[in-house]
Structure 1
């Protein structure tokens, strides 16, 4: 082993860019467009920075002992300044990843992209199988439903929607379980009709939006020419499950 190998090496910017380019190319061979792959990488980068920021702030309270009050105060100020900077970088990387305008730019709602839908699919599928055994709604129809759901929020909201949706499901888990037991797969209710959405992995996503922004959801629902009875049936089932 030579001296260089014995010294811990940090990743330099060139090596990081090389790793990102390699990943984009590998994903491209799997059919993922470069723009979509770069967006996913950007979200992971922003998330890593966002997690690192509060962890860095905790260092403010663990200054080395025996250095005196002035040293401890400077240590704390430095740790908090570093944490604030990491938070600002995380914010910038997130804006760049989702294509959100900067603070001085006009706000525009960006279109729902394919990767937005794919990320939503992952979380709704996971949540659905925690409440029901299977899904009987056509996958293409499920995508149309997700597009309507995701159009009710901006790029930043879509980026954080999996976490928001998971928190919603956890908070209302008992009520959602009662709703599925009465109206979902395995219940006496047939798939076709007012309660169709309970047979779809998109159910909890629609329910969250119906609870939080009902008017916006109905507007996008109508624009997507989806059956109004599905929303009405889900609202009825949700109300009954809360009784």
Structure 2
């Protein structure tokens, strides 16, 4: 058996991939994860893998072996571009399938009720970012869900799928600003947890600050609809503006 044949045998076939997916869904179901949430998460992982492959192929355009001549290098670049374009389209379709799989999301570009998986992804995203600025969180889980619900409702399903990355970029771009804000108003500061600066003591503050910076009108609209304390949002707005 030659090397090419061995490589083909090592590739996963469709039946094996479907078997692995079904097995994972069953294991998650036994752990109490709703099938729709599990399918959405798996779909996002699949879309992400395709997006990663798209990036790798796009970068391969710049690595054509120049020693084989200009014509060869040109053909290499054109071929890589064609494959990258197709992979990009496949990744986009996979993303749309993932975020519109549930009964409440008819379109990837229209606002819809926040799903459990979207809420959990937001919690996972904000917690480590917050802990990079503060040592502890002092807000209860119910308030966390109420605040994140208002934040996520400012976005459509496609935007929510990419929200962890958006949060990471926001925290990186404004790190010095955020460090000063949490030092002055967050845990360990002279500011008490109760009052208008309460949210600075919660991981949700990172998400709220990002929305204040990007879509303040939509955030205020959803905040009022959720009947959340206006003082919390006013406090974060003041803290953010005082350190701009």
**Aligned positions of 1:146-157 closer than 5 A:** 146-157=148-159
Question: Residue 225 of structure 1 is aligned with which of 224, 227, 235?
Answer: 227
* TM-score (normalizing by structure 2): 0.90
**Aligned positions of 1:169-180 closer than 5 A:** 169-180=171-182
* TM-score (normalizing by structure 1): 0.91
Change (3 A) 1:181 1:61: closer
Which secondary structure state, in structure 2, belongs to the residue aligned with residue 120 of structure 1? helix
Take 2:233 and 2:190, find their aligned partners in 1: how far apart are those partners? 20
Residues 182-230 of structure 1, C-alpha deviation per residue, up to 9 Å, x if partnerless?
A: 1111111111111010011100100110111111101100111100110
Length, aligned pairs only = 236
Contact 2:57 2:80 in 1 (8 A): yes
Question: Residue 110 of structure 2 is aligned with which of 108, 111, 123?
Answer: 108
Unpaired segments of 5 or more residues in structure 2? 102-106
Which secondary structure state, in structure 2, belongs to the residue aligned with residue 192 of structure 1? coil
- Structure 1 residue runs of 4+, over 6 Å off? none
Residues 81-106 of structure 1, C-alpha deviation per residue, up to 9 Å, x if partnerless?
A: 01110000000000000018xxxx79
Which stretch has the larger CA shift, 65-74 or 47-56? Answer: 65-74
Take 2:67 and 2:171, find their aligned partners in 1: how far apart are those partners? 49
Corresponding residue for residue 76 of structure 1: 77
Take 2:163 and 2:41, find their aligned partners in 1: how far apart are those partners? 14
Contact 2:108 2:157 in 1 (8 A): no
Change (3 A) 1:168 1:74: same
Question: Residue 138 of structure 2 is aligned with which of 133, 136, 139?
Answer: 136
Corresponding residue for residue 53 of structure 2: 52
CA RMSD of aligned residues (A): 2.1
**Aligned positions of 1:154-233 closer than 5 A:** 154-233=156-235
Take 2:196 and 2:121, find their aligned partners in 1: how far apart are those partners? 27
**What is the CA-CA distance between 1:14 and the residue it aligns to?**
0.8
Take 1:199 and 1:10, find their aligned partners in 2: how far apart are those partners? 49
Contact 2:57 2:84 in 1 (8 A): yes
